[in-house]
Structure 1
Amino acid sequence: MLSQLHDLDLQLLRIFVTVVESGGFSAAQGELGIGQSTISTQMAKLETRLGFRLCERGKAGFRLTPKGEQVLAATRKLFGAIETFKGEARGMSGLLLGELRIGLSEALDNQVLQRLGKAIGRFRQRNQAVHFELISAMPAELERRLLQDQLHLAIGYFSRTQAALDHQPLFGEQERLYCAVGHPLFHRDPVSLDDLSRYDLVQHPYRFGEAMEPFQSGPSSARTEQVECSLAFILSGAHIGYLPEHIAAPWEASGQLRALLPEQTGYRVNFHLSSHRGRQPSEAQMAFVEDLLAAFGDV
């Protein structure tokens, strides 16, 4: 009885189908390229494997037994399924599958978002069926999710102290020190570094853990990681603080914010594309990184 299907069984079943479609052993010789005695031996092997007769052959001619009819129908289904599998497997050979979970830093510049959109557009033109998920979070949260395999990639300004993470430079963002209408420095001209040191500066506990800010003041009563919250502190008129230039630009244009000593206190924050170095990237992840780097290549 046939309990497992081997390559030999498939070969025997193909001979069986050819014999049936040719109308008998003798007629199948030309189609199979083997002699009638060999065909008879192969058919006998198949019947032995199955444990029952498939056909009657003799002076009365060739005809299938009832079980032979059922085996023929089942064999045609099997071969049809094999061809379907082969076709689908060929189609999948260049198909990108799976999912991509990508973390983004907060308050990205519109030009950065446009380039990210361009990268996604490039990727969607590939032969792919990938599910995307974009998550916006603070850098510490993005790092945590990368380390816990909750993200495949993250774009942000990272401390770069996590040895388990790889970082590729992606773009830079200009930071400047600002005050708002109502702050004592807003109309003062000129302003000195000594003047700045007298006022309450918004502290950023994560973003600038490596003391990236050129200007550092004394004690502060305002603390936040979020850009939007920094803006709120500054707009209160009670604090000075750092903001990305693109966030401050519309407020500065409307006369509500002023950059303080931009040449002396301004600096550039480098954003990176980060991933877990201990995880093997999927084909989809590698392809998207390629598209992402291409989109940001001229930044």
Structure 2
Amino acid sequence: MTANKDMLDRLEGVKAQNYSLGQVGDYEIKQLKIFKAVVDCGGFAAAESYLNVGRPTISIHISNLEARLNLVLCKRGRAGFSLTEEGEVIYRMANELFEFLDNFRGTVNSLNSQCTGQLRIALSDRVCLDPQSRFPELIKQYSAYAPNVSLVTQVSSMANIERIILNDEADIGFIPYHRPLEGLNYQHIYSDACYVYVAKGHPLTFMSEEEQAIKVDEFPASHSGVKLHDDLNEQVENMKLAAVSYFYDVRLSLILSGQYIGFLPERYAEDYEKLGLIQAVAKKQRTYTLGVAVAYRKTTQLNKPTELFLQALQKVFDINELSSAPY
């Protein structure tokens, strides 16, 4: 670089005109590659076979490059091919430029082939244990795509999951859908039917389904305590809401006490129902569909760990193209 600077200092007095190169693009880089090939081959004639281009075309490219740089780069004629002082500087700098581009390309390829860093996943209550989420299968597929990425997981409420994704404190969230939030993408993955459950021996269990539908609103109910989507709001607006329990395990405990009733996803409740500990009531009249989605931040460029996770999601759930959840 010192030799280049010395040469440039000597040339500064030679070039009288005030000239600025401006933006360098793909076209100039292509011309520089041709110029480098001519110099490496020792002249225009020898470069013909190397570039697989005729001598007139090579000459045009070199002339255009000289005009673009406002410099005479080489002498060609009966005396043979030789570089000017300016040409020697440009040749050295072109070599440095192409070496840098090669290193840049190699680094990018390495980053793509060996994805590293963290993937931060936040999950709503019990989602990872729901067979419909296929979470273990997702992690297995993701590990094949990104074996060098470490996972950081946490369980949190829907509202907090949305907040930390928006604040770039998490990359992926698994949440029951309850509202579309600006700034997030939601990819639907599965749905579950939800019913009102009561404990064994609860007064509602001794009634017909028609009576249950009439009486269900008279008993204390536990609910999630979050803003409800329209389908759920219609189901609970007349219920006697007496306790807040966001997490299913806590809500189930309140139901098992016999003092409260409450909505639970059918898949979550089925094992307890098989044991005879709880029972769904008014199933035809009191039910709604709970959609579960993978949420991630809207951005023009996802980080590589997140991008690979979404590819794993598409693979496992056989999704051709990611799209907004149909809510």
Quickly name the TM-score band, shorter chain normalised: 0.5 to 0.7
Secondary structure, aligned partner of 2:169: coil
Distance 1:111 1:5 in 2: 66
Matched, 1:123 2:123: no
Runs of 4+ in 1 over 6 A off after TM superposition: 83-89
CA contact (8 A) 2:231 2:288 kept: no
- 1:148-297 to structure 2, matched below 5 A, reads 148-190=167-209, 191-206=211-226, 208-212=228-232, 215-216=235-236, 217-278=238-299, 280-297=301-318
Q: Deviations over 1:84-137 (max 9, x none)?
A: 999777544522232211111111243145x22212222222365212112211
Distance 1:84 1:278 in 2: 28
Between the aligned residues of both structures, percent identity stands at 20
C-alpha distance 253-214 of structure 1, shift in aligned 2 (>3 A): farther
Matched residue count: 236
Distance 1:209 1:104 in 2: 19
Once the two structures are TM-superposed, the CA of residue 287 in structure 1 deviates from its matched residue by 1.8
Once the two structures are TM-superposed, the CA of residue 240 in structure 1 deviates from its matched residue by 1.4
Once the two structures are TM-superposed, the CA of residue 208 in structure 1 deviates from its matched residue by 2.7
Distance 2:315 2:166 in 1: 26
Distance 2:3 2:298 in 1: 43
Secondary structure, aligned partner of 2:165: helix
Structure 1 gaps, min length 5: 9-31, 35-44, 46-82
Distance 1:86 1:218 in 2: 62
Distance 2:265 2:300 in 1: 33
- 1:54-93 to structure 2, matched below 5 A, reads 91-93=110-112
Structure 2 gaps, min length 5: 8-39, 43-87, 89-101, 320-327
Distance 2:143 2:3 in 1: 42
Distance 1:201 1:139 in 2: 21
Corresponding letter in the other structure for 1:197: D
Distance 1:86 1:229 in 2: 53
C-alpha distance 86-155 of structure 1, shift in aligned 2 (>3 A): closer
TM-score relative to the length of structure 2: 0.61
Matched, 1:139 2:139: no
Once the two structures are TM-superposed, the CA of residue 3 in structure 1 deviates from its matched residue by 5.3
TM-score relative to the length of structure 1: 0.66
Corresponding letter in the other structure for 2:240: P
Relative to its length, the structure with more helix (as a share) is 2
Q: Deviations over 1:210-267 (max 9, x none)?
A: 3515533343221221111111111111121101112211211111111102222122
CA contact (8 A) 2:222 2:241 kept: yes
CA contact (8 A) 2:130 2:268 kept: no
Q: Deviations over 1:40-92 (max 9, x none)?
A: xxxxx9xxxxxxxxxxxxxxxxxxxxxxxxxxxxxxxxxxxxx9999777544
